[in-house]
Amino acid sequence: MLMDFDRIRQEAFESNMRLPELGLVIFTFGNVSVADPKQKVFAIKPSGVPYEELSADSMVVVGYDGKVVDGDLRPSSDTATHAVLYRNWKELGAIVHTHSTYATAWAQSQKDIPIYGTTHADHLTVPVPCAPPMSDKMIRGDYEIETGNQILQLFTKKKLDYREVEMMLVGNHAPFAWGKSASKAVYNAAVLEEIARMAYITKQINPKAPMLKKALIKKHFERKHGPQAYYGQK
């Protein structure tokens, strides 16, 4: 049976090109993958190729087992991390990994990003979680696979649902975001960077800034995502 990868290749290409446009990457820092759950494959940026040299045809198609299915180039060095998440989180449509400045700074600080304001609450009801630094044993193992395991372990420990919390930080590393579609995953990556920037500035202005009240968190999240949501158009 002939497999068709055109859609995910095109979406992966367009989504990767959005990262420098949004100021989320410089040089070759970052990648987007787009999945086809029916075929259990995803298209991802090739490793180390400058964004101006990318095309839809240069996207590498990889199976959920992490093995290249189609493509002449070596896939992103983070491919195995993406594969771990797709294997375990069945409703994922796309994953974004960047080293955007503010989100990465929070990751390097090994800190969750607190909910200080309604911008954060429009998207999450919890702080943006930060996974603890990887253990020496994990580092000595298959590093990229263990990065995926690190993310899974954090969500299990904190009892978080990846369908509700679509962004996180890997301690001492950088942010990851995802969604059911490529556009939503890129959106979440951009929102994460802005939330991180706002939280950093908030702490500079008032190091003792209080967390947002639970009532406001609930109100802002539910007006966008609740059963009686009224944000936007019908």
- Write the CATH number for 141: 3.40.225.10
**pLDDT (tens digit, 9 = 90+) per residue, 188-209?**
999 999 999 999 999 999 999 9
Q: What is the dihedral of CA 53, 179, 143, 5, to 10 degrees?
A: -50
> Would you name the residues annotated as active-site residues?
122, 231
In a domain? residue 201: yes
In a domain? residue 233: no
In a domain? residue 231: no
In a domain? residue 167: yes
Q: Is the pTM of this model over 0.85?
A: yes
**pLDDT (tens digit, 9 = 90+) per residue, 24-39?**
999 999 999 999 999 9
pLDDT at 226: 87
Residue 2: is its pLDDT beyond 90? no
In a domain? residue 129: yes
In a domain? residue 39: yes
Residue 1: is its pLDDT beyond 60? no
Is 43 within 8 Å of 8 (Cβ atoms)?
A: yes
What is the full DSSP assignment across 24-40? --STT--EEEEEETTTT
Residue 13: is its pLDDT beyond 80? yes
What's the total number of domains in the chain? 1
Contacts 24+ apart (CB under 8 A), 68-77: 69/3, 69/5, 69/41, 70/3, 70/5, 71/46, 73/46, 73/47, 73/49, 74/46, 74/47, 75/44, 75/45, 75/46, 75/47, 76/31, 76/33, 76/44, 76/45, 76/46, 76/47, 77/47, 77/144
Range of the domain at 188: 6-225
In a domain? residue 185: yes
pLDDT at 149: 97
In a domain? residue 211: yes
pLDDT at 221: 94
